[in-house]
Amino acid sequence: MSIGNPRVLIVSWMTGSDYGGSEYFWSDFIRRAPVEWEFGVFYRRSGAVVHAFVELEERGVSFFFQDPGSEISLELANVIAEFEPDLVWINLNSHIPHRLIVECEWPAVVPKIIMVQAVVPQLFTKGRDTRPINDLYSSADLVTFCTERNLKDAERILGRGLKNAAIIGNYVDCAKFAPTRRDIPNDTWTVTCVARLAIQAKGQDVLLEALSSPELMQIRWRLNLVGNGPDRECLHGLAGHYGVSDRVTIYSTGGIPEELSKSDLFVLPSNWEGLSFALLEAMASAVPCVVSDIAGQDELVHEAECGWSFSNGNPDSLKRALLDAWNGRNNRETGMNGREYVLRNYEISTVMKKMFSHVEKCLAEHALGVIH
């Protein structure tokens, strides 16, 4: 093993056509890594996402695409044998197949980092055998969580402490997302939600119901839903059902800094998250935030004092939070608090430096024979 020139294999999974949080993290990690480092990626082949890897291929990254229907654990074992990694980095998110965890014989002599984007129902449904995940965590050199609450949720579900865990949040490029908010006329209000168009996970249906309440309909609000995903037509239908079609616009992902610069409020009604990139970007843009009270969101907003939270899945609670936000719309400090908070804690260079430190520590310990 060469610590100065390590070979790092990233095991990631995505079922949609666009990047998720873990993809953003490891692709930016690769871009910022020393040029001597070699990377391989074992990834599900999924149409439109493939062309996003062109830049990384030019960096010299080796991609191993898993085709649907193949034997996942056997294919991964072949990739490990071919690439001969010094470290395996596993992105354990809601899309990774459970049988990959159960069946794969992870090499005991290779250090492993497990990156947990979120403790979500798909991984920890009631009655599911948690032993494979427990075993995987136990064999890892490092298990990273986005927030302290996500870590505590995992420990509660698994019934034990995770002494090999660390908190490494997501990040934001604060130079790219800068505050440029306009003055807010008293009779207009632009509300923005940046999230995958997937109602079960992101909860945009609750937002539409809350905004259609008689109290909020007295306000001249406009809602911009920004994202890609399978529920675009459903959301159009729901906007019509609630009688707000003329106030709702759905945009594909792209130009997010510009959308946030035109926003008076950012709302993220997700049912689960790790630590949302979109939330960090809104905070960096000094836009006040309303979020559901789930792990990875409400503790961030309350600690930063940059917005309001509501009871997850509850339209009436969201309505009250939106009214509070409307009544406090002229308090500029609310948005600026968020920007100052992410500048201190989540700027991209700070987070990446922390991750590089952990990777180098894992490699150094194995080189010295300190195997967990």
From CA 174, how far away is CA 297, in angstroms rounded?
19
Residue with tokens 């930016």: 28
Q: Read off the pLDDT band of 316 (50, 70, 90).
A: very high
Q: Residue 136 — very low, low, confident or very high, per pLDDT cuts 50/70/90?
A: confident
Model confidence band, residue 17 (pLDDT cutoffs 50, 70, 90): very low
Spell out the domain ranges in the chain.
Answer: 7-171+347-367, 189-345
Q: What is the pLDDT of residue 332?
A: 86
| pLDDT value at 14 more than 80 | no
What pLDDT was estimated at residue 287? 96
7-171+347-367 with 189-345: one CATH topology? yes
Class of the CATH domain delimited by 7-171+347-367: alpha beta
Q: Is the pLDDT of residue 66 over 70?
A: yes
Q: Which tokens is 200 given?
A: 């079960």
Say which residue the tokens 């072949």 belong to. 78
Question: Which of 106-120, 249-263, 271-285 shows the lowest per-residue confidence on average (mean pLDDT)?
Answer: 106-120
Position 238 scores a pLDDT of 98
For residue 99, pLDDT over 90 is answered with: no
Q: Is CATH 3.40.50.2000 the classification given to domain 189-345?
A: yes
Residue that wins the pLDDT comparison between 114 and 245: 245
- Which tens digit of pLDDT belongs to each residue from 343-361? 999 999 999 999 999 988 8
pLDDT band at 1 (very low <50, low <70, confident <90, very high): very low
- What proportion of the chain, given as a percentage, has pLDDT over 70? 80
If one compares 106 and 355, the residue with the highest pLDDT of the two is 355
H runs (alpha helix) in 15-169: 21-32, 54-58, 72-83, 98-103, 131-139, 148-158
For residue 212, how many C-alpha atoms fall within 13 Å in the half-sphere facing its CB? 17
52 has a pLDDT exceeding 50: yes
Dmax (CA) for the chain in angstroms is 67
Structure confidence at residue 107 (pLDDT): 63
Give me the pLDDT at residue 211, please. 98
- Specify whether the CB–CB gap between 123 and 90 falls below 8 A: no
Q: What percent of the chain has pLDDT over 90?
A: 44
Which three-class secondary structure state does DSSP give residue 23? helix
Examine the pLDDT at 48 and tell me if it is beyond 50. no
Q: What is the pLDDT of residues 113-131, one digit of tens each?
A: 877 766 655 555 555 677 7
pLDDT at 154 over 80: yes
Q: How many CB atoms lie within 10 A of CB 58?
A: 8
- More confident position, 103 or 338: 338
* Average pLDDT for 138-165: 86
